[in-house]
Structure 1
Amino acid sequence: IECLLAEKQGSAYELALQLDAMNQDRKQIEADMRKQAFAYLEELVLEEDGIPPALCVYDPRWHQGVVGILASRIKDKFNRPVIAFAEACRDESRGEIGVELKGSARSIKGFHIRDALDAVACHYPGLITRFGGHAMAAGLSLDKSRLTEFTKAFEEEAARLLSEEQLTATVFSDGEIETDWLSMEIAEKLERAGPWGQEFPEPLFDGRFELIQFRAVGEKHLKMLLSPIGSPGFTVDAIAFNVETALWPIDDTHEIEIVYRMEVNEFRGNRSLQLVVERILRLH
């Protein structure tokens, strides 16, 4: 707020530098936490020949302010409801003892995570200290000594409610579209048709494109210039966020098959069509 309200450019610039440094620190913390969590879950897959219908992850080194981002990343990778926990300070002056964990939960379609926590709380009174949220995200607190008990109860509730089909990562596409439809006019119409949401999802399309150019943006984002197969001379910008490096194109990649949505990209006063890649299906 001080940065936005600063009356002098120099003061605003100094505050902006501080904010940027804090954001870079947060990104590094989140990246380290994600690496630790993924390593643990990959090991779990090898040991148990699969992963549970819901995931609870915790490490004493994790930062409470970043577990929400971590839970979201794990949910996207494994298509499971996820709760990531970090330790929180307790107020000993109020008689609070032991170590409290605060969890940030993220869910998948068809699994109302607040209701699931409510069911666990009803079946196991006192297990959860407090909780709240909505269908897709929630927060909760519990005693560290009861984490194993809670994990088992939460997995059982997820197993009761989730089908094998729901646990299989499936992307539903509205199909391929003609090159003529890849336009600002259509993107603007889709933008005006919103807001989109869980029960009213934004249209997704799929298609094969010639990969003209690609480059890294930031650490894990992939900026591309694409041309629809069969439409030489027509190009469109595309971007994929948080792409696993194993899925990045290599020098001899000529074609890419993707699921995407169209958006109007605004940058420095210019508006242009951009495809936001939701899934890279194949590289050719």
Structure 2
Amino acid sequence: LMDVARLNGPPEAWHLGFMLGPRINAGGRIGRADLGVRLLLESDVSEAARIAAELDRLNSERRIIEQHAEAQAEAEALASLGLEDKGAVIVTASEGWHPGVVGLVASRLKEKFARPAFAIALEPGGIGTGSGRSIPGVDLGKAVRHAVEQGLLIKGGGHAMAAGVTLRKERLAEFRAYLESALAADVAEARHVNEILIDGAISARAATPELVATLNRAGPFGSGNPEPIVALPSHQLVDADEVGQAHLKLRFKSGDGATVNAIAFRSVGQKLGNALVQHRGQVLHVAGTLTVDRYQGVERVQLRVLDVAVPDHGPAMIR
């Protein structure tokens, strides 16, 4: 639904993504997976209102559960990394975490600490179920599959950027040590390089639906066929406004006066978001991927911002 809304145009468009989407997902995350489908299929207004109210309640509950687990996981990660910021992988675990939010927590840890990260919910019987998220250049799924082969996990699998695991509590330390050993070199290289490969440079005026359609002909995109990344050199950041609870809605203007709308997902409070807010009104190099919004029959191009750089500081990116 967030992809449908694209956060472009009037407020009701991005409200669809930020307000309806999370509530439909909330039921599945904390044990009521049928509610979202029932809401979308329900034709009775009063019954739909009842289901919507329940989903809203569940979403509030999910948010509290997630925030509590995230705070605990961040504290554990900081203690593990120490003041010297040492460690290739973050593996956090706790009793009381809801299995439905561990993927979200792992994603937040990965973004905050720029390392592969796992969040594992430990059940009273000593079995843990968790999710992991990785950074470009580090194949997490391969490491998890090898851990299964070595008997460290009951089961596990995934792909390069995400994985799921089930393990016994007593094997947690071994699993953490294995990941440190297996992924240290790849993580060090990935964090050292920390680069975005740009496929081409364009201006705001060139960011047209026709260009996006041409690029999409190279799809479908995924981990084995990444979406093309474009750079907009020396564009002024005209607007930078917070939307939802963690995103920035942006607008960039080129030297000839043309503008392009943009969005920086989950950037508020992060390095990227802070840089954008601090440089509002200034000229930046910006990199991202292009999408097309369709609202009331009108097509508009939107840039999903991945990184920015201050021109006076050379090619190094801010994130």
Partner-residue secondary structure (3-state), 2:43: coil
Shift of 1:164: 2.9
Change (3 A) 1:255 1:20: farther
Q: Aligned runs of 1:178-197 on 2, under 5 Å? A: 178-197=203-222
Aligned counterpart for 2:122 among listed residues 87, 104, 123? 87
- CA–CA separation in structure 2 for the residues paired with 1:275 and 1:84: 31
Corresponding position of 2:252: 226
- CA–CA separation in structure 2 for the residues paired with 1:245 and 1:81: 20
Q: Which runs of 5+ in 2 are unaligned?
A: 1-36, 313-319
TM-score, normalised by the number of residues in structure 2:
0.75
Equivalent residues of 2:204, 2:252 under 8 A apart? no
Equivalent residues of 1:258, 1:281 under 8 A apart? yes
Shift of 1:253: 4.6
Corresponding position of 1:146: 171
- CA–CA separation in structure 1 for the residues paired with 2:187 and 2:73: 25
Partner-residue secondary structure (3-state), 2:95: coil
Corresponding position of 2:111: 76
- CA–CA separation in structure 2 for the residues paired with 1:57 and 1:270: 46
Corresponding position of 2:265: 241
- CA–CA separation in structure 1 for the residues paired with 2:122 and 2:206: 50
Equivalent residues of 2:237, 2:281 under 8 A apart? yes
- CA–CA separation in structure 2 for the residues paired with 1:180 and 1:236: 8
TM-score, normalised by the number of residues in structure 1:
0.83
Corresponding position of 2:20: none
Percent identity of equivalent pairs? 32
Change (3 A) 1:116 1:209: same
Corresponding position of 2:189: 165
Asked whether 1:60 is paired with 2:95, we answer: yes
Asked whether 1:210 is paired with 2:210, we answer: no
Equivalent residues of 2:95, 2:123 under 8 A apart? no
Shift of 1:269: 4.7
Q: Aligned runs of 1:90-105 on 2, under 5 Å? A: 98-105=125-132
Q: Which runs of 5+ in 1 are unaligned?
A: 90-97
Equivalent residues of 1:100, 1:144 under 8 A apart? yes
Corresponding position of 2:290: 262
Shift of 1:278: 1.2
- CA–CA separation in structure 1 for the residues paired with 2:161 and 2:109: 14
Equivalent residues of 2:248, 2:268 under 8 A apart? no
Corresponding position of 2:27: none
Partner-residue secondary structure (3-state), 1:242: coil
